[in-house]
C-alpha cells in the first residue's frame, strides 16, 4: 500500500476515525491491528517474516532481561557474602550468557535479512568467479523476494535488543506492545529507524483528540504529498531517461542527471518521511526527525549528520562505537602504535571501523556492487576530509574567509555536488557504466545542449520544468525560513485567512500538479526499496 495511493488515504481515514472513537486504552491495540493489515496488504505471507523477527526478538530480549533481574536479586540476596571479585565474576558470567543470547538473536534476524536480500547477490558473484575460472558450473539464484521494509524493521528491532543487552532500558514485557513497536505502520516502509526508549511513551500512551497536533500532522502529510507528487514523481521520468540510456546521454547530461536525482531523491525521501511523521502526529505519536536541511551541509560529514539521521546514528551507536572500542581493536591499536608510531597507530582502529560502517551502509542500501562502491566512496571522501583538516586550518589561518557568506556558499555547493556525484551510483546499472559516465563529463563537451532545447526531450515539457522550478523554490524558501524557528510554528502565527489560503493553495497544487493517476507511472518511494 503506497502512501500516495487512494487505498492508503482511505485506510488512514478509517484508522483515524476509529482511533479517536474507541476507548483510549485500546488505541495501541488498534494500531497493532492496523499495522498488520497494512503490512499484509503486499502479501499475507510476508507477515510471517515480521512475526518471526518480533517473536524471536521478544523471547530472547525477555531471557536477557530476566538475567538482569536474576543478577540483581542474586547480588542483593548475597550482598554480604560475596566479595568484590565474586560479584564481578558473577556479573561476567551473566554477561556472557546474555552475549550468547544477543549473538543468537542478531545472527538469526540478520541471517533472515541476509538470506532474503543478499543470497542472490552472493550467488551471482560466485557464478562470476566460476565463469572466470571456466569451471562450467553455475549456482541457480534462489529468487527470494525481500519483504517490504525488512531492512528498516530488522535494524530497529536489533537496535532494541542491543539496548536491552546494554541495560539501556528494560525489555518490553507485553509481546503485543513490542509487536507494535516493530511494525508501527507509518514508519514501516522507509523509517525513521526508531529507538524503543524514544518511541514507547508516545506509542503506548492514551491520546486525546487535540486539534493543534492533528492539524500539524495534516500539514506535514500535505507537505510530504507535495514533495513526492509534485516534485519527485514529476522529475523521475527525466532521471530514468538519462540513466537508462547511458550511450545517448553523456557529458553534461550526466551532471543534469546528478542534479535531477539529487532533487528527486530529496523530495521523495523527505516527502515520505514527512508523510510518516505527519501520520504518526495525527495519531498523537511523536517520531524522530530524519532530516535537518541536509543540502545546506558544508561538509560530507555534516551532510551525514543531517541526512537520514536515524540510520546514521544507528550505525554510529551499534557498529562504529562498539567496533572502535572493542578489545580486539584496542589491542590492534596498541600494536600499531608500537610499530608505526602514535600518529598512524591511533588512526587504524578508527579507519577500520569507518570502513566497516560504510561498507555496511552501502550493503544495507542494496544488494549490488553499486552500493558497495557508493559506501566506500563516501568513506574515502570522509577520511580524506579528516586528513585534510590541518591543511584547511592552515588555509583559514592565512586567508580569513571561513566566515564569509561566499565561502560558506562555496562549501554548500561543493558538498551538494560531491554528494550528487557519489549518489548517482544508485542509478546507473553497474559500477562500470557509472565510472564511464563520470569520464564522459570531462571528455564529451555538449554543454550547448543545456540551452538548445535538448532538455525538453527528457520526458518533461517546458510547463513541467516551470512547475518544478516553482515547487523547488518553495521548498528552498521553507528550508531557509526554518533555520531559526519551526516553519509550522511560524505558520501558526499567521492571520487565519492567510493560513487557510496557504493550506488551500497547497492542496490545489497537489491535486492539479501532482504526477499521479493515469498517464503517470506511480512510483514507489525510493527508500522503500532499500
Residues found near another protein in the complex (CB under 8 A)? 6, 461, 463, 496, 500, 504, 507-508, 511-514, 516-520
Rounded least distance, CB 6 to another protein, Å: 5
| Cα–Cα distance measured from residue 444 to residue 292, given in angstroms and rounded to the nearest whole number | 36
> How far from the centroid of its chain's Cα atoms is residue 213's Cα?
25
Rounded least distance, CB 493 to another protein, Å: 17
| Cα–Cα distance measured from residue 354 to residue 352, given in angstroms and rounded to the nearest whole number | 5
Rounded least distance, CB 517 to another protein, Å: 6
CB nearer to another protein: pick between 69 and 505: 505
| Cα–Cα distance measured from residue 193 to residue 190, given in angstroms and rounded to the nearest whole number | 8
Rounded least distance, CB 14 to another protein, Å: 15
CB nearer to another protein: pick between 126 and 511: 511
| Cα–Cα distance measured from residue 260 to residue 423, given in angstroms and rounded to the nearest whole number | 11
Rounded least distance, CB 505 to another protein, Å: 10
CB nearer to another protein: pick between 132 and 512: 512
- Identify the DSSP state of 450: G
CB nearer to another protein: pick between 256 and 467: 467
| Nine cell digits for residue 367 | 544488494
> How far from the centroid of its chain's Cα atoms is residue 363's Cα?
13
CB nearer to another protein: pick between 373 and 455: 455
Planar angle of CA 131, 136, 141, nearest 5 degrees: 70
Rounded least distance, CB 44 to another protein, Å: 20
CB nearer to another protein: pick between 139 and 507: 507
CB nearer to another protein: pick between 1 and 309: 1
Q: What share of the chain is helix, strand, coil (3-state, %, to 5)?
A: 75, 0, 25
User: Comparing C-alpha atoms, which of 305, 422, 415 is closest to residue 374?
Assistant: 422
Among positive and negative, which fits the CA dihedral 475, 478, 484, 485? Answer: negative
* Residues 6+ away with beta carbon under 8 Å from 443: 251
Rounded least distance, CB 437 to another protein, Å: 32
| Cα–Cα distance measured from residue 500 to residue 37, given in angstroms and rounded to the nearest whole number | 34
Amino acid at each position: 500500500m503506497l502512501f500516495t495511493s487512494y487505498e492508503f488515504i482511505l485506510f488512514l481515514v478509517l484508522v483515524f476515525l476509529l482511533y479517536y472513537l474507541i476507548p483510549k486504552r485500546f488505541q495501541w491495540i488498534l494500531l497493532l491491528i492496523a499495522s498488520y493489515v497494512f503490512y499484509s496488504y503486499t502479501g499475507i505471507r510476508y507477515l510471517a517474516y515480521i512475526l518471526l523477527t518480533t517473536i524471536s526478538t521478544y523471547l530472547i530480549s525477555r531471557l536477557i532481561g530476566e538475567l538482569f533481574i536474576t543478577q540483581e536479586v542474586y547480588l542483593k540476596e548475597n550482598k554480604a557474602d560475596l566479595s568484590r571479585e565474586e560479584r564481578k565474576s558473577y556479573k561476567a558470567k551473566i554477561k556472557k550468557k546474555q552475549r550468547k543470547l544477543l549473538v543468537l538473536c542478531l545472527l538469526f534476524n540478520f541471517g533472515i535479512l541476509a538470506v532474503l536480500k543478499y543470497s542472490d547477490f552472493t550467488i551471482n558473484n560466485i557464478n562470476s568467479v566460476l565463469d572466470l575460472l571456466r569451471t562450467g558450473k553455475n549456482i541457480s539464484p534462489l529468487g527470494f523476494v525481500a519483504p517490504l521494509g525488512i531492512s528498516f524493521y530488522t535494524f530497529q528491532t536489533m537496535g532494541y535488543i542491543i539496548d536491552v543487552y546494554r541495560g539501556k532500558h528494560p525489555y518490553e514485557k507485553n509481546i503485543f506492545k513490542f509487536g507494535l513497536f516493530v511494525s508501527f505502520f507509518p514508519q514501516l516502509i522507509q523509517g525513521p529507524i526508531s529507538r524503543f526508549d524514544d518511541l514507547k511513551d508516545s506509542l503506548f500512551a492514551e491520546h486525546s483528540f487535540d486539534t493543534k497536533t492533528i492539524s500539524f500532522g495534516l500539514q506535514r502529510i500535505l507537505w510530504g504529498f507535495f514533495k513526492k507528487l509534485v516534485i519527485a514523481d514529476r522529475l523521475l521520468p527525466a532521471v530514468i531517461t538519462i540513466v537508462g540510456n547511458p550511450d545517448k546521454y553523456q557529458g553534461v547530461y550526466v551532471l543534469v542527471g546528478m542534479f535531477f536525482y539529487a532533487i528527486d531523491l530529496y523530495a521523495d525521501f523527505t516527502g515520505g518521511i514527512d508523510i510518516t511523521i505527519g501520520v504518526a502526529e495525527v495519531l498523537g505519536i511523536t517520531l524522530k526527525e530524519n532530516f535537518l536541511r541536509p543540502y545546506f551541509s558544508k561538509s560530507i560529514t555534516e551532510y551525514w549528520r543531517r541526512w537520514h539521521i536515524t540510520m546514521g546514528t544507528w550505525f554510529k551507536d551499534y557498529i562504529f562505537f562498539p567496533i572502535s572500542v572493542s578489545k580486539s581493536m584496542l589491542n590492534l591499536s596498541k600494536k600499531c602504535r608500537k610499530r608505526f608510531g602514535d600518529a598512524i597507530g591511533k588512526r587504524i582502529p578508527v579507519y577500520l571501523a569507518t570502513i566497516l560502517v560504510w561498507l555496511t551502509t552501502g550493503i544495507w542500501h542494496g544488494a549490488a556492487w553499486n552500493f558497495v562502491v557508493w559506501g566506500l566512496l563516501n568513506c574515502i571522501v570522509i577520511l580524506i576530509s579528516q586528513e585534510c583538516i590541518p591543511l584547511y586550518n592552515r588555509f583559514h589561518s592565512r586567508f580569513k574567509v571561513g566566515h564569509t557568506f561566499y565561502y560558506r556558499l562555496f562549501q554548500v555547493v561543493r558538498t551538494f555536488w560531491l554528494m550528487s556525484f557519489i549518489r548517482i551510483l544508485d542509478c546507473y546499472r553497474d559500477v562500470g557504466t557509472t565510472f564511464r559516465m563520470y569520464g564522459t563529463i570531462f571528455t564529451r563537451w555538449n554543454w550547448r545542449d543545456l540551452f538548445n532545447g535538448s532538455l525538453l526531450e527528457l520526458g518533461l515539457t517546458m510547463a513541467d520544468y516551470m512547475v518544478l522550478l516553482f515547487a523547488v523554490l518553495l521548498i528552498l524558501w521553507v528550508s531557509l525560513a526554518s533555520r531559526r524557528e519551526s516553519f509550522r510554528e511560524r505558520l501558526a502565527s499567521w492571520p487565519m485567512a492567510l493560513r487557510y489560503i496557504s493550506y488551500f493553495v497547497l492542496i490545489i497544487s497537489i491535486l492539479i500538479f501532482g504526477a499521479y493517476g493515469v498517464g503517470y507511472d506511480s512510483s514507489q518511494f525510493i527508500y522503500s526499496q532499500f
